[in-house]
Amino acid sequence: MRDSAKKLVSPGSAWSFPDGVTYLNHGSFGPSPKPVLDAQVEWTRRLEQNPMTFLIHECEDALEASLGSLAKFVGTSRGNLVFVDNATFAMNIVAASVELQPGDEVLLNDHEYGAVLRIWRRRCQDAGARLVVAELPDPPTSHDAIVERLFESVSDRTRLIVISHVTSPTALVLPVEEVCRRARERGIVTCVDGPHALATIDISLRTLDCDFYCASCHKWLSAPFGSGFLFVNPRWQKRVRPAIVSWGGSIGGRQPSWKDEFVWLGTRNPAAFLATAAAVDFFDSAMLARFREHSRGLTELATRLICEMTGRSPIEAGDESRCPSMISLEIPPIADVPPPGQRDPLQNRLREEAGIEIPIVHWQGRRLLRVSAHLYNSTADIDHLAATMRRDCQSSRV
């Protein structure tokens, strides 16, 4: 797999899209490059060839090997990771595991992902605990200012802090290292929500020393859809509880481990997990550097062109908050904000009239265009976006 990826003169050619589609939303749903798709097909073929042999005798070792590649990539040992379908699944395991007493507080902030807020709102309601949503500084001038503001909302009752490594609506890298360090000093549990950090920035779970880290591999790492992981710090491994109960126990009959409850979740095709190693292989250090440099150039171009058009500045908290591959840019508001679950009319027009797939989110009274760039995107894609927006703007429909 690694060799085939390296031979690509243009790594972007490992992806293919239908003619007429300009895909600028890897941040929501990241399609896989060909070597990863090939690996997924090959694992499925092996499963289908003899499911008994594969599921009973081979699968667990293969999963551990794939997890080993991923563990190296995120700076931990594979004994601390389990595969899960996605970050949402991982977060639900954390919610099922952290004990909360009436009056305890769980601290999130106003840049967190909507589904994560829902998970913790429900969990707090069930426990009689209080969900506290800190308002980060606006504009978020620096990492220090963000940490200070977050800790202003910490009280003696704060049991857990849930924080994105890279935020979804605003595409900001948050100062998770410092937040985890200060939380440890106060005995507060930390859960980092990291789907956008995987591959876009370096992750060392050993250094971060959070209690839990949730991620989806099917975003920037471009592993198959339905692949994610949960990191559980050794100090939690005896206490972590599955969100789905199945047989537990190791199929292969190895030594009991905390992972036993998480590996066999009923019968399923594990090809997405197994092919995650192919995605890690694809992103060897040279490819990773190339991806980050290339995508940074494109998001900078998008920032320049869109901000020139709107006269607004991007949301940022200094260079340290800059995610290379994703940027959220404010565009003029509209009177009729679409209700939750419905798309912005401009998002529909971009898709229908110009083939551009890009999300527009309404967040804290702002209308944000979130531009994602990956190895397959080019300056032509960004120019196409800007030109279409400009035309739309001139017909004053933005």
Ligand X SMILES: Cc1ncc(COP(=O)(O)O)c(C=O)c1O
Nearer to ligand X, 87 or 274 (CB): 87
| Of residues 22, 303, 21, the one with CA closest to residue 171 | 303
Residue 197 or 398: the one with the smaller Cβ distance to ligand X is: 197
**Sign for the pseudo-dihedral over CA of 286, 16, 41, 265:** positive
Binding of residue 92 to ligand X (CB under 6 A): no
Name the one range near ligand X by CB under 6 A: 45-53, 110-118, 245-253, 371-379.
Answer: 110-118
* Window 130-169: contact mask with ligand X (x via CB under 6 A): ----------------------------------x---x-
Neighbour count for residue 250 (Cβ, 10 Å)? 15
d(CA 142, CA 150) in angstroms, rounded, equals: 12
Closest contact distance (angstroms) between CB of 177 and ligand X is: 17
Q: How many residues does the chain have?
A: 398
Pick the piece of the chain touching ligand X (CB under 6 A) from 148-156, 192-200, 203-211, 274-282.
192-200
HSE value, Cβ hemisphere, 13 Å, CA-based, for 89: 18
The H-or-E segment that residue 30 falls in is none
> Judged by CB under 6 A, which stretch of 11-19, 193-201, 237-245, 257-265 contacts ligand X?
193-201
Cβ 176 vs Cβ 192: under 8 Å: yes
Q: Which of residues 168-187 bind ligand X (CB under 6 A)?
A: 168
Residues 227 to 286 in contact with ligand X, rule: CB under 6 A: none
Is there binding between residue 359 and ligand X (CB under 6 A)? no
Is 83 in a helix, a strand, or coil?
Answer: strand
Smaller CB separation from ligand X, 195 or 224: 195
CB nearer to ligand X: give 76 or 168: 168
369 binds ligand X (CB under 6 A): no
- Pick from 113, 151, 212, 264 the residue near ligand X by CB under 6 A: 113
Considering only residues 216, 233, 303, 325, which one is a binding residue for ligand X as defined by CB under 6 A?
A: 216
Q: What is the rounded CA–CA span in Å between residue 127 and residue 97?
A: 12
87 counts as binding ligand X under rule CB under 6 A = yes
**What is the rounded CA–CA span in Å between residue 344 and residue 351?**
11
- 28 binding ligand X? (CB under 6 A): yes
Determine contact, residues 210/104, Cβ cutoff 8 Å.
no
Asked whether 326 and 171 are in contact (CB, 8 A), the reply is yes
Contact 354, 388 (CB under 8 A): yes
DSSP state of 127: H
Total binding residues for ligand X by CB under 6 A? Answer: 13
Q: Give residues in contact with ligand X (CB under 6 A).
A: 28, 86-88, 113, 115-116, 164, 168, 193, 195-196, 216
